[in-house]
């Protein structure tokens, strides 16, 4: 009887440790766990590779062209379409437990791969495997040298965000609540440099995906 009690106690300890590790895995994944999750996210939308149109074709602001498929309470995938219903970019995501936004998002377009890792510090952005900066919750974008390179002015009343590079407005981003818009991204800047165009694309993707209800918290 004594040995049975010890065995039961050990089993309970092992079970408790298992559930604790699983909980921590969903709260604060380490680098190895993030890479494992990223691999799964990539696999879930690999069928879109080679079938996406250029960002220049435009992104539809209509909610029915912003398709989201949830596989469970914490993960899923989606695709944004152009106004003529061709896929522009696809994404897969995993949400983690936390008091603030805590997620991992993988995105593919016709020419780039993006990884967005959001936690209490903000959203760390990588393009094609290279870290490019951090978008903080206040809309300020910093490069890897911690220099402010862009900013997003968010307006919940109009559901339209303004993107600036320096003090120059370069684009407006219409969120799903903005039912009057046909295109989600309106480029207002002129004589843009290639790196400025890429900044518009990157931050537009971040803002559009983050505006989905699956990422509110």
Residue-level pLDDT at 22:
46
Query: Which of 2-11, 79-88, 110-119, 185-194 is least confident?
Result: 2-11
Domain boundaries, the chain: 2-215
Residue-level pLDDT at 16:
40
Residue-level pLDDT at 72:
65
Q: Is the pLDDT of residue 69 over 80?
A: no
The structure tokens listed for 13 are: 């300890």
Q: What average pLDDT does the segment 114-122 reach?
A: 94
pTM of the model: 0.84
Q: What average pLDDT does the segment 191-204 reach?
A: 95
Q: Cα-Cα-Cα-Cα dihedral of 56, 62, 63, 68, to 10°? A: -30
Q: What average pLDDT does the segment 83-107 reach?
A: 90
Segment 5-43, tens digit of pLDDT = 665 545 444 444 333 344 444 557 888 899 999 999 999
What pLDDT band is residue 101 in, cutting at 50, 70 and 90?
Answer: confident
Residue-level pLDDT at 7:
56
DSSP assignment of 75-121 equals EEEEEEE-TTS-EEEEEEEEE--SSS--EEEEEE-SS-EEEEEEETT
Residue-level pLDDT at 6:
61
Segment 144-160, tens digit of pLDDT = 999 999 999 998 888 88
What pLDDT band is residue 192 in, cutting at 50, 70 and 90?
Answer: very high
């Amino acid at each position: 009887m004594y040995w049975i009690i010890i065995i039961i106690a050990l089993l309970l300890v092992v079970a408790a440790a298992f559930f604790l590790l699983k909980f921590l895995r969903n709260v604060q994944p380490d680098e190895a766990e993030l890479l494992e999750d990223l691999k799964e996210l990539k696999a879930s939308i690999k069928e879109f590779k080679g079938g996406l149109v250029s960002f220049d074709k435009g992104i539809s602001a209509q909610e029915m062209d912003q398709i989201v498929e949830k596989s469970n309470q914490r993960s899923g995938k989606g695709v944004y379409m152009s106004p003529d219903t061709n896929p522009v970019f696809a994404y897969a995501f995993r949400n983690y437990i936390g008091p603030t936004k805590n997620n991992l998002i993988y995105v593919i377009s016709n020419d780039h791969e993006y990884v967005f890792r959001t936690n209490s510090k903000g959203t760390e952005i990588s393009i094609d495997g290279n870290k490019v900066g951090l978008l903080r919750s206040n809309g300020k974008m910093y490069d890897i040298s911690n220099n402010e390179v862009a900013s997003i002015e968010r307006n919940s009343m109009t559901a339209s965000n303004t993107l600036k590079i320096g003090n120059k407005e370069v684009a407006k981003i219409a969120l799903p609540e903005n039912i009057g818009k046909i295109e989600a991204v309106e480029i207002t800047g002129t004589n843009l440099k290639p790196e400025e165009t890429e900044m518009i694309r990157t931050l537009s993707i971040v803002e559009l995906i983050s505006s989905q209800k699956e990422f509110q918290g």
